[in-house]
A = this chain, B = another copy of it.
Amino acid sequence: MSMMITKNILPAWLRHYQGKNLSHDAMGGIIFTILVIPQSLAYALLAGLPPHFGLYVSIFPVIAYALLGSSMVQAVGPVAITAIMTYSVLSPIAAPSSSEYIMLSASLAILSGTILLLFGWLRFGFLSQLLSRPVISGFISGAAFLIIISQLKSLLGISYPSEDIGEMFSVLIQPLSYSHGMTITIGLTSFLVLILARYHLLSLLVRFGLGATRSAFIVRIIPLLIIFLATILVVYFDLDTSSDVAVIGNLTEGLPSFTFFLPSYDSVKTLAVPALLMALIGMVQGISIAESLAIKRQERIDPNAELVGLGASNIVAAFYGGMPVGGGISRSAVNVASGAQTPLSGIISAFIMILIVAGASHWLARLPLTVLAANIMVAAISMVDIKAFRHAWLYDRADALALLGTACGVIVLGLEGGIVLGVSLSLSTLLYRVSIPHIAVIGRIAGTEHFRNVVRHKVETLPGVLFLRIDESLFFGNLNAVETRISSEMAKVKDLTDIVLVMNAVNMVDTTAMEVFTEFNRDLSERGIRLHLAEIKGPIHDRLRHSPLLKALSGNVFFTANRAFEELAATKATRNK
C-alpha cells in the first residue's frame, strides 16, 4: 500500500534516480540559475511587470514542472512569447506594473494554467498539432518584430504616445533629440556586444585555441557580465540620478508570500479568450521544445504530462510572482549547456533562486533598464527566422505563404488575431491539399506484378478496363474532385466494362465517401459497368465489410491489383473466343 502511494506521488525520474547524475544536476542547477538571471529579469520587463517578478516565477513553477512534466531537461520560466502576449493582452486595460496590472497578469496565469491542466487531463495533447511549423515560425517571427518595436523605447529611453504600430514608427523615425544620450550609449553598447558575442565570439574563441566547452561557457556568461558592468558603471558615476538613466529601482526586499486568490468574474470574462490562445501557444511551444530535446537525448515525452506540468507551473506562478510562464528554447538550451541531466537540476535551481531573491535582490536596484532591453532585442532578433521562409519557399510555396501570412497577421492584427489566422492557415493548407487528390491511371509493367502511372512508365493495359490508383484518403473534403476525375478518365476509355480502384494509398474511407461510392456503384451498374476494388488496407476492409458499399458492389474485391488484372484479362479472353 505504501509502495502504491509512493508510486503515485513521486515522478518516475525521482524513483529511478541514478546517483551518477547527482553531481551533474547540482552543478548544472547552480550554473543555470546564475546564467538565466538576465533573461528572467528582461522577460518580466517585456511582460510589463516589475523585473524581479521574473525571478519569483523561477522558483515554484520550476518545482511544479519538475514534479509533473515529462521532459528531462526542458526549463520552464519567463519566456519571450508568453511575456509579449501578456503585455499585448493587458497593456490596453491597465497601466503596466500597476497593482491592477499585476492582479490581471496573475489571473491570466491561473486561467491559461487551468486550461493547460484540463487539456492535459482530457488528453488533448494532439491539439498541439493544430499549427504547422511554417505557421509557428511565422508567428514567432511576427511576435519578435513586435518585441523589437516595443523594446526600442527602453533601449533609446523614449516613450510611445500610444500602442499603435504606426505611431510607434513615427516616434522612432524622428530625430533622437528627446532620448537620453547616456541611455542610448549604454543600451547600444550592450546591444552591440551581445550581438557580437552571440554570433561571432564562439568561433573567435575557438580559433584562439580555447576548448569548445569553455568557449561556449564564456559566450553564455556574457549577458551576465554586461549587466554586472553596466550596474557598476551606474553605481560608480551615479548615472541614475545625474544622467537620468532608468534603472530597476528599489525592490521589496526578501521573498514574497504566497497570495491565494480567485480571478473575478469580470476578469475571467475579459481574459478567457486571450488565456485560451495563450494556452494554445504555450502548449505548442512547450511540447515541441520538449520533443526536440527528447529526440536528441533518445528519450520520450508524454505530451499530456507536459500539459499538466505547464498548467501546474502557471497556476503556481499565479500565486507567487503572478507572471505566466512557459517552456523556453533559450532557457532550455542554457539548462542543457549547464550539464543538467534530470529535473532534479531544476529543483536545485529553484532553491538557489530562493537564496538570491531573499538575500541579493537589492543588488539589482541600480541595474539600467536599457541593458535588459538590449538583451530582449538580441533574443528577439534571433527569433526572426528568415531561413525558415527560404526553405519553405523552395520546398512548398503554400507553406511559405502560410508562414508569411501568419507573420504579417501577427504584425497587423496583433498576437491573438495572428494565432487564429495561423490555425486557419494551417487547416486551410491541409484541406486544400487533400481536396485535390492525386489520381493516376495505372497499368502493369510488363513481366512484373508492379503497377505504375501510365504517364510516367511504359506499361500494359486491358481494353475496356480502367485501373485507377487513388492517392489520397477518401473523405467528405475531396469526393467532388475524385468523382470529377474518375468521370473524365471514364470518358477517355472506349467500350468501358470494368473499373478497378486500386486503394493501397487510401488510408480512410469516411461515411460520406462510403455513401458516395455506394451511389456511384449503383449508377455504374445501371450503365453496365462493373466496379472492382483492389488492395484495400486491412483496417478499411474491416470497416467496409458490412457496409452497403461492399454488399452492393457490382464487381469483386481483389487482394492485389495484379490478381484483378489477370482475372479480368481471362474474362475478356473467354468472352472474345
Contacts of A471 in B (CB 8 A): 507, 537
Could you give, for residues 480-498 of chain A, a 1 whenever the CB lies within 8 Å of some chain B CB and a 0 otherwise?
1101100100000000000
User: In this assembly, does A82 line the interface, its C-beta being within 8 Å of a C-beta of chain B?
Assistant: no
User: In this assembly, does A296 line the interface, its C-beta being within 8 Å of a C-beta of chain B?
Assistant: yes
Cβ-defined contact, A129 with B479, below 8 A: yes
Cβ-defined contact, A478 with B546, below 8 A: no
User: In this assembly, does A295 line the interface, its C-beta being within 8 Å of a C-beta of chain B?
Assistant: yes
Contacts of A523 in B (CB 8 A): 295-296, 298
Cβ-defined contact, A292 with B473, below 8 A: no
Q: Which residue of B lies closest to A491 (CB)?
A: B300
Q: Assess A295 versus B512: contact at CB under 8 Å? Given A396-B543, A435-B126, A504-B505.
A: no
Cβ-defined contact, A508 with B546, below 8 A: no
User: In this assembly, does A438 line the interface, its C-beta being within 8 Å of a C-beta of chain B?
Assistant: yes
Stretch at the interface among A142-150, A153-161, A413-421, A424-432: A424-432
Of B131, B399, B448, B538, which is within 8 A of A510 by CB?
B399
User: In this assembly, does A560 line the interface, its C-beta being within 8 Å of a C-beta of chain B?
Assistant: yes
Contacts of A511 in B (CB 8 A): 132-134, 391-392, 395-396, 399-400
Cβ-defined contact, A508 with B433, below 8 A: yes
User: In this assembly, does A244 line the interface, its C-beta being within 8 Å of a C-beta of chain B?
Assistant: no
Give the distance in Å from the alpha carbon of A298 to the alpha carbon of B519 in the complex.
Answer: 12
Contacts of A560 in B (CB 8 A): 450
Could you give, for residues 456-487 of chain A, a 1 whenever the CB lies within 8 Å of some chain B CB and a 0 otherwise?
10000000000000011101111111011001
Min CB distance A29 to B, Å, is 27
Cβ-defined contact, B472 with A510, below 8 A: no
* Copies of the protein in its oligomer: 2
User: In this assembly, does A303 line the interface, its C-beta being within 8 Å of a C-beta of chain B?
Assistant: yes
Could you tell me how many residues of chain A have their Cβ less than 8 Å away from some Cβ of chain B?
A: 79
Cβ-defined contact, A430 with B391, below 8 A: no
User: In this assembly, does A97 line the interface, its C-beta being within 8 Å of a C-beta of chain B?
Assistant: no
Min CB distance A554 to B, Å, is 15
User: In this assembly, does A527 line the interface, its C-beta being within 8 Å of a C-beta of chain B?
Assistant: yes
Cβ-defined contact, B395 with A133, below 8 A: no
Cβ-defined contact, B295 with A456, below 8 A: no
Q: Assess A133 versus B427: contact at CB under 8 Å? Given A295-B520, A480-B128.
A: no
Cβ-defined contact, A514 with B473, below 8 A: no
Q: Assess A130 versus B477: contact at CB under 8 Å? Given A394-B546, A399-B511, A453-B538.
A: yes
Min CB distance A466 to B, Å, is 16
Cβ-defined contact, A481 with B520, below 8 A: no
Min CB distance A102 to B, Å, is 36
Give the distance in Å from the alpha carbon of A291 to the alpha carbon of B487 in the complex.
Answer: 12
Could you give, for residues 533-547 of chain A, a 1 whenever the CB lies within 8 Å of some chain B CB and a 0 otherwise?
000011100010011
User: In this assembly, does A548 line the interface, its C-beta being within 8 Å of a C-beta of chain B?
Assistant: yes
User: In this assembly, does A253 line the interface, its C-beta being within 8 Å of a C-beta of chain B?
Assistant: no
Cβ-defined contact, B126 with A480, below 8 A: yes
Cβ-defined contact, B476 with A133, below 8 A: yes
Give the distance in Å from the alpha carbon of A472 to the alpha carbon of B293 in the complex.
Answer: 26
Give the distance in Å from the alpha carbon of A478 to the alpha carbon of B426 in the complex.
Answer: 13
Cβ-defined contact, A507 with B505, below 8 A: yes
User: In this assembly, does A449 line the interface, its C-beta being within 8 Å of a C-beta of chain B?
Assistant: yes
User: In this assembly, does A437 line the interface, its C-beta being within 8 Å of a C-beta of chain B?
Assistant: yes
Give the distance in Å from the alpha carbon of A435 to the alpha carbon of B303 in the complex.
Answer: 14
Q: Assess A527 versus B298: contact at CB under 8 Å? Given A132-B510, A481-B126.
A: yes
Cβ-defined contact, B391 with A548, below 8 A: yes
Q: Which residue of B lies closest to A562 (CB)?
A: B450
Residues facing B in A509-530 (CB within 8 A) are 510-512, 514-516, 519-520, 523, 527
Cβ-defined contact, A430 with B477, below 8 A: yes
User: In this assembly, does A268 line the interface, its C-beta being within 8 Å of a C-beta of chain B?
Assistant: no
Min CB distance A396 to B, Å, is 5
Q: Which residue of B lies closest to A453 (CB)?
A: B538
Cβ-defined contact, B395 with A512, below 8 A: no
Q: Assess A476 versus B129: contact at CB under 8 Å? Given A433-B508, A507-B437.
A: yes
Contacts of A478 in B (CB 8 A): 129
User: In this assembly, does A434 line the interface, its C-beta being within 8 Å of a C-beta of chain B?
Assistant: yes
Cβ-defined contact, A427 with B426, below 8 A: no
Min CB distance A258 to B, Å, is 36
Cβ-defined contact, B129 with A435, below 8 A: yes
Min CB distance A307 to B, Å, is 13
Cβ-defined contact, A519 with B295, below 8 A: yes
Min CB distance A332 to B, Å, is 16
Which of A431, A450, A484, A523 has the most chain B CB atoms inside 10 A of its CB?
A: A431
Give the distance in Å from the alpha carbon of A479 to the alpha carbon of B303 in the complex.
Answer: 13
Min CB distance A130 to B, Å, is 7
Contacts of A395 in B (CB 8 A): 511, 514, 543, 547
What 9 A-B pairs are tightest by C-beta distance, nearest first?
A: A132-B476, A133-B512, A399-B511, A471-B507, A129-B477, A505-B505, A392-B511, A132-B512, A472-B507
Chain A to chain B contacts (Cβ below 8 Å), 7 pairs: A134-B511, A395-B514, A395-B547, A400-B511, A429-B510, A430-B475, A472-B507
Sample of 16 further A-B pairs with CB below 8 A, known A399-B512, A473-B507:
A126-B435, A126-B436, A129-B431, A129-B476, A129-B480, A133-B511, A287-B480, A295-B519, A295-B523, A394-B547, A395-B511, A399-B511, A429-B510, A437-B507, A456-B538, A472-B473
